Amino acid sequence: MERENRIDFLVYGRNALFSDPVTRVGGEKCSYQVPTYQALKGIAESIYWKPTFTWVVDRVRVLNPIRTQSKGVRPIKYQSDENELSIYTYLTDVAYQVQAHFEWNEHRPELACDRNENKHYAIAKRMVERGGRRDIFLGARECQGYVEPCTFGEGPGAYDDCPELAFGVMFHGFNYPDETGRTQMETRLWLPKMERGVIAFCRPEECTLVHPVGERSAKAFVPGENLSLSDCLAEEVGL
C-alpha cells in the first residue's frame, strides 16, 4: 500500500563520508561503503523537519559504483590549537535514490495540534523540488550534497545485476529521548545487505544491537515561547 506521506528524492555529490566509528579512534576517518540510516534521516530533516513528526527512511538505492579516495587533512588537535596530519577516506561521485515517510512523534503530545498530514506532506514535496530548506551534507560538513525529485527505482544503477551484497555490522542510528520517551541516548547497529542495488532499512525499534550512550533529556517545545503559534494552526501559508 502506497503511503500518502512518502517522498522520493535523489541525493548526490562529489564526495561523501559516512564514517565508520571504529576508524575514528586514532583521529582518522574512513567511510562506510553505503550511507547509514542516520545520515539519510538527517538529509530528510534538512529537506523539511518539524518536531511534530519524525522521518523514517524506507529504502536507499545505490546508483553509482562504490569508489573511494584518500585525502590528507590537517584537523586541529583535541584541546589544542595545533594541527596534525590525518588521512580521511571518502566515497567519490555518489548518487542515491531515497524513499522515506514521516510519522507523528507520539512523544510530543503538546504538538498534537500541528498534526496536519496534508499540510506537512505538501510542504515536504515542495522542499524536495527546491533542494531542501537547509544545506545538504553527505555525512560530513565538507561533503556538500544536492537534492532533486525522482521516482524510486527509475533509471539504471551500477548494482542492478548484483543479487546480494552484505556489509557486516554497521551503525544504524541514534535513539534520541524525544523519539523514544526514555531519558537515555542509545546507538543502534544492524547487519545490512544490498539486493539489486537496494538496501531496505529495518525500523529503528527493530534493531536488536542497541548500546546505551548516556542519560539525556528531551527538549521541551512550548507554543508561543520557543515554537511559533502558527505551527499549531490547521493551515500554513507559503513555506
C-alpha cell at 11: 541525493
Q: Which residue has the higher pLDDT, 238 or 105?
A: 105
The total number of structural domains in the chain stands at 1
Pairing of strands 144-149, 136-137: antiparallel
* Percent of the residues in the chain that have a pLDDT greater than 70, as a whole number: 92
Would residue 238 count as lying in a domain?
no
Calpha distance 37→200 (Å, rounded) = 10
Please name the residues in contact with 158: beta carbons below 8 A apart, sequence gap of 6 or more. Answer: 62, 63, 64, 65, 66, 197
pLDDT digits (tens, 9 = 90+) for 151-191: 999 999 999 999 999 999 999 999 999 899 889 999 999 99
Q: Is the pLDDT of residue 2 over 60?
A: no
Look at residue 31 in the predicted model and tell me its pLDDT: 96
Which domain, by its residues, includes 224?
A: 6-232
Q: Is the pLDDT of residue 146 over 60?
A: yes
pLDDT digits (tens, 9 = 90+) for 66-94: 999 999 887 777 667 777 788 899 999 99
pLDDT class for 218, splitting at 50, 70, 90? confident
Would residue 13 count as lying in a domain?
yes
Look at residue 26 in the predicted model and tell me its pLDDT: 72
Give the rounded distance of the alpha carbon of 206 from its chain centre. 17
Please state the pTM of the whole predicted model. Answer: 0.89
Look at residue 3 in the predicted model and tell me its pLDDT: 60
Mean of all residue pLDDT scores within the chain: 89
Q: Is the pLDDT of residue 235 over 70?
A: no
Q: What is the CATH number of the domain that holds 223?
A: 3.30.70.2660
- DSSP letter, residue 120: H
**What is residue 17's three-state secondary structure?**
coil
Would residue 1 count as lying in a domain?
no
pLDDT digits (tens, 9 = 90+) for 38-52: 999 999 999 999 999
Would residue 237 count as lying in a domain?
no
Q: What is the mean pLDDT of residues 121-128?
A: 96
pLDDT digits (tens, 9 = 90+) for 10-20: 999 999 999 99
- Other beta carbons less than 10 A from residue 160's beta carbon: 14
Q: Is the pLDDT of residue 125 over 70?
A: yes
Would residue 239 count as lying in a domain?
no
Q: CB of 113 within 8 A of CB of 232?
A: yes
pLDDT class for 37, splitting at 50, 70, 90? very high
Would residue 113 count as lying in a domain?
yes
Look at residue 231 in the predicted model and tell me its pLDDT: 57
Q: What is the mean pLDDT of residues 118-139?
A: 95
Look at residue 1 in the predicted model and tell me its pLDDT: 42
Burial class of residue 23 in the structure, from the number of CB atoms within 10 Å of its CB (0-12 exposed, 13-18 middle, 19+ buried) = middle
pLDDT class for 237, splitting at 50, 70, 90? very low
Burial class of residue 188 in the structure, from the number of CB atoms within 10 Å of its CB (0-12 exposed, 13-18 middle, 19+ buried) = buried
